[in-house]
Structure 1
Amino acid sequence: MNGFFRTYAKLLVLLLIMAACLLPSACSLLPEEEEELAPPLVQPATIAYKTEAVTRGTLISELKMGASFVPEIQESLSFQKQGGRLKKVYVKYGQDIKAGDLLAELDAESLLSAIRIQEINVEKSQLALSKLQTDGASSYDIKIARLNLKQQQYSLDDMNQQYAATQIFAPFDGEVVYATSASSGDYINAYQTVVKVANTTALLLVTTADDASDLPIGAMVSVEFQKQVLTGEVVANPTTLFNDPIESLRDAAIIRIQGDNPKEAEMGDSARIIYVIEKRENVLILKRSLINLMSGRRYVNVLEDGVRVEKDVEIGLQTDTEAEIVNGLEEGDLVIVN
């Protein structure tokens, strides 16, 4: 009996110990487990934006192109009625000439011989007519003699015209801007340019830039030449020169300087033409590189209270580098560059 109670008592004590371990305070009797540490909080990196402010100013859309001074009056000279063997070219490139100077001629010795013979024939016909008139010949004989003299004179005149066509004379005072490299004895075709002369005191500006056709006739342009700013007027463009006999001018625009040409200007000198297409003052201006275009939508990234915000914009006048902002931004708005 005593053994039973002792066994029962041991079981009771064991149950009490187990029940005590289930209580929170009792768990302190056991080894404490370490608490798990919370992961450290990662602070987001601060983004440093580079910005440019929207400003007001004057926006100018303009064309700029190079041009060269060329003679207003120039002429290509050739043997127009006939070709032949070249006798001599009497001038060279860059040489000053006077109106009436002999520039070049063909070999016409055989023609000169024929002219001298024909001059004799004319003189003989004149003598024959005079004798008939002195001798009181019939009106018929005198008329025949007169017709013979006229025929001989016509032949002489024709020969002289042929001889004149073998020579080239300067049509005006100026300068030789081209002379053929052909040598004496070389064959020269009719209408082949032998000499080109120009009046270098009267110069025009010619530009063959791709956008020369955008210069309207009558438009006033600025001309920059050797630190001088001159005013010029467009007097011709490709719409009027498309059929010009000088092929190089068909795609060109021609500008005449207002007033006297600068004394320093010489044929071949370069200048710069500036034509203002449109000018707008006191408008919002932004670099075109900051304006994004996607599917027809134009927008910019603006910094507002440290946050990047997309804003749609409407643009107006544009230049190569800048654009007018019509809607979407205000003066002073900070547009993100990077």
Structure 2
Amino acid sequence: MKKAILPLFIIITLIVSSFILYPDAENKSDYAIVIHGGAGTILRKDFTPEKETLYKKVLQEALQIGDSILRNGGSSLDAVEKTIRILENSPLFNAGKGAVFTNSGKNELDASIMWGKDLNAGAVAGVDDIKNPISAARKVMENSEHVMLSGHGASEFAKTQGLEIVDQSYFFTQNRWDHLQEILKKEKEMTPEDRHGTVGCVALDKDGNLTAGTSTGGMMNKRFGRIGDSPIIGAGTYANNASCAVSCTGHGEFFIRLGVAKDISSMMEYQNISLEEASNKAIDKLTQIGGTGGIIGLDKNGNIVMKMNTNGMYRAYSNSKGETEILIYK
């Protein structure tokens, strides 16, 4: 009789322990991906059905690229890079082809990427001739001893890596140019929320590795070589397999001051709270000091957050459970 009781006791103990140690096990996703295309004053009244369809089509294309890579066992690094490249190649978003103009009428691009497995990271800032800055950021991470390269030096490095270099005219889009002219006419009336935008992606692969990436054209009408949070590891981008992957969008100066992306990870680690709770606290902190924007995030179990304190954020997600959604308005 005693021999039968002992194995049963062990089995019950193991089952109970599994729920204590791994409370989210039932909800765990083999893979997941989340993307954003910037947050700000995005109102339904300003969108025609055709315009809304156009944005959603590009978001869907980007999401499908990343989802396909992850579904077939690819790395989250590949998924994030390839997904962001789609958004960089679209004139709809403030990154790559759709980058906004500086006060002097130029395009200056920033990007970063981080690998949660070993905390390796790469970034480029203030570049003006690299077609896909997110790919340059990855090359910095993988093929250099540095984390961030800027300006002409970053471009020279990109050339050695075989990346596509383009004439600055490639980044010209008429609507971005017209927007700059409008801002120059009524500069004092514009708020920072009217001028910024970013694209980003976070992904979890089947090996349990998290990656975060962010790319931007920066703030419309920026001066003096201004750099925002997007290429700064810990501010606009952060990934750690022990906690989460985060990409931010918004008024970068505030995200830098708070170190938002790393702060979310740290709150999860040190306060033992969920990604949802940590993200809500981060947005509250941002709001308290007057910052605007949004975040997307993934934890190691594939739990998703898409938070903002603005009127909208272009965003989408999908995962191995077949859940998917594309959203624009708050």
TM-score range, shorter chain: under 0.3
TM-score by length of 1: 0.21
Write 1 or 2 for the structure with the bigger share of strand: 1
Question: Going by fraction, where is helix more abundant, 1 or 2?
Answer: 2
Structure with bigger gyration radius: 1
